[in-house]
């Protein structure tokens, strides 16, 4: 079976070492290649902007004293066109001011160098955290997560940073609640990905961690207010409202989104119906956390499920957020063989692989068929990643409903 093939990765120390080295070498090669791409070296002097370009633009405007302008989409579009040297795809900015502050030092580096430093640092933090959680299952998780990690490196996004922060919450929640709270509070840079973890801490009464997280959010918000003024919060909220209208009109590359909203909208449903579908999925995702506690599943398994469903709550979720699934899978693997049969494990591994690879493969198809500047809105490109995560949620709910009961045994073939 597919599950047994992937699990064979960890069958011996030599195999585990070989797979880990291969995956890490491949990720390093992608990062080095993309650093030249971001630096516009060689034949990439004319290219559209990617995500880290947007990070670099925002970092520059932190020091120019007009940070609120990046939250006004007309002004931001002009900044991005100027950076691209002409027309480019538009990337709205809806990150909280805390993330702007985190990016500020990268303004002093060329974009290619900044990309390489940001990617290498966040990837290293993610891998160290993942290794501490996964243990001997590290190689298997790396193989399953490889497509998601590759696409995160390719665009220079922050999926490794958010994955590492949630991983640090999980590592410290039992014995070092203060550290867990600091990591959860740092998730203010992308708060919608921390909702499920926060619910888990609330249900399990981790008051020190929750209090620490709240303090981090409060102190960082006050610092941003002192540095950028009260207007930064109004600008940020205005950008969120404007972004919501853009999402409703399908202006984002929805085929790379992994939300139920994107999947349903691209399937032809009205935006209002797709939104209610997203609301239902978010409710089920949060109920998975409660279900794990009520049904008596192992704490690590329940926490792993909470991490996995974190990427299913917001309508605005991309494939570069999927490294978080690696943290959840690493937490669940020790109990997965007992709670899930080979077919269920095969489905879980396959859905994670598919969700990570789909956007990458679809982007490559569009580029080959219609050129590197192909508009996905003008060509058929469904958002199947969202359907994959909905199916994954269904499997998780089934396992959590069984609780402490072992997976049903497969019928034995007659001899």
Q: Domain for residue 92, yes or no?
A: yes
Taking only the tens place, the pLDDT of each residue in 43-80 is 777 778 899 999 999 999 999 999 999 999 889 989 98
Taking only the tens place, the pLDDT of each residue in 2-22 is 777 777 777 788 888 999 999
Task: Name the percent of the chain lying above pLDDT 90.
Answer: 71
Taking only the tens place, the pLDDT of each residue in 189-229 is 999 999 999 999 999 999 999 999 999 999 999 999 999 99
More confident position, 405 or 46: 46
Using pLDDT thresholds of 50, 70 and 90, give the confidence band for residue 315: very high
Cα–Cα distance, 174 to 146 (Å, whole number): 29
Cα–Cα distance, 203 to 286 (Å, whole number): 11
Q: Domain for residue 412, yes or no?
A: no
Of 355, 415, 349, 345, the residue nearest 388 (C-alpha) = 355
For residues 366-392, average pLDDT? 76
Say how many domains are in the chain: 1
Is a pLDDT exceeding 80 seen at residue 119?
Answer: yes
Token pair 């066109």: residue:
81
Q: What is the mean pLDDT of the chain?
A: 90
For residues 254-272, average pLDDT? 93
pLDDT at position 412, please? 43
Neighbouring C-beta atoms of residue 361, cutoff 10 Å = 12
Q: Which domain holds residue 282?
A: 2-37+45-402
Residue 42 class from Cβ within 10 Å (0-12 exposed, 13-18 middle, 19+ buried)?
exposed
Q: Domain for residue 66, yes or no?
A: yes
pLDDT at position 380, please? 62
For residues 107-126, average pLDDT? 97
Of 293, 296, 312, 316, the residue nearest 244 (C-alpha) = 316
More confident position, 9 or 373: 9
3-state secondary structure 104-163: HHHHHCCHHHHHHHHHHHHHHHHHHHHHHHHHHHHHHHHHHHHHHHHHHHHHCCCHHHHH
Q: Domain for residue 411, yes or no?
A: no
Q: Domain for residue 390, yes or no?
A: yes
* pTM score over 0.85: yes
More confident position, 120 or 249: 120
Q: Domain for residue 239, yes or no?
A: yes
Cβ contact 212:185 at 8 Å: yes
Cβ contact 70:58 at 8 Å: yes
Taking only the tens place, the pLDDT of each residue in 18-38 is 999 999 999 999 999 999 999
């Amino acid at each position: 079976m597919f599950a047994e093939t992937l699990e064979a990765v960890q069958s011996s120390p030599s195999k585990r070492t070989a797979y880990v080295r291969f995956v890490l070498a491949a990720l390093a090669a992608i990062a080095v290649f993309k650093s030249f791409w971001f630096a516009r070296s060689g034949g990439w002097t004319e290219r559209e902007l990617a995500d880290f370009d947007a990070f670099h633009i925002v970092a520059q405007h932190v020091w120019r004293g007009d940070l609120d302008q990046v939250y006004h989409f007309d002004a931001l579009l002009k900044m991005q066109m100027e950076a691209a040297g002409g027309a480019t795809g538009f990337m709205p900015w809806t990150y909280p001011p805390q993330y702007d502050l985190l990016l500020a030092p990268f303004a002093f580096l060329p974009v290619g160098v900044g990309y390489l430093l940001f990617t290498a640092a966040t990837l290293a933090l993610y891998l160290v955290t993942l290794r501490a959680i996964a243990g001997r299952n590290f190689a298997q998780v790396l193989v399953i997560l490889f497509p998601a990690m590759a696409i995160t490196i390719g665009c220079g996004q922050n999926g490794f940073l958010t994955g590492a922060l949630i991983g640090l919450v999980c590592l410290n929640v039992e014995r070092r609640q203060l550290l867990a709270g600091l990591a959860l509070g740092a998730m203010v840079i992308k708060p919608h990905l921390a909702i499920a973890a926060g619910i888990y801490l609330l249900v399990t009464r981790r008051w020190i961690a929750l209090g620490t997280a709240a303090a981090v959010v409060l102190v960082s918000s006050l610092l941003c207010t002192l540095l950028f003024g009260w207007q930064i919060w109004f600008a940020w909220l205005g950008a969120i409202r404007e972004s919501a209208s853009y999402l409703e009109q399908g202006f984002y590359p929805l085929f790379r989104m992994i939300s139920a909203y994107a999947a349903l909208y691209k399937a032809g449903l009205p935006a209002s119906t797709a939104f209610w579908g997203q609301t239902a999925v978010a409710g089920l995702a949060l109920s998975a956390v409660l279900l794990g506690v009520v049904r008596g599943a192992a704490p690590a398994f329940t926490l792993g499920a909470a991490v996995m469903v974190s990427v299913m709550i917001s309508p605005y979720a991309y494939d570069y957020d999927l490294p978080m699934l690696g943290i959840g899978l690493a937490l669940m693997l020790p109990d997965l063989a007992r709670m899930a049969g080979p077919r269920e494990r095969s489905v879980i591994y396959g859905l994670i692989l598919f969700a990570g690879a789909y956007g990458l493969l679809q982007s490559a198809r569009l580029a080959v068929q219609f050129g590197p500047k192909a508009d996905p809105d003008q060509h058929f490109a469904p958002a199947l990643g969202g359907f994959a995560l909905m199916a994954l949620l269904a499997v998780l709910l089934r396992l959590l409903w069984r609780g402490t009961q072992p997976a049903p045994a497969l019928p034995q073939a007659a001899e």
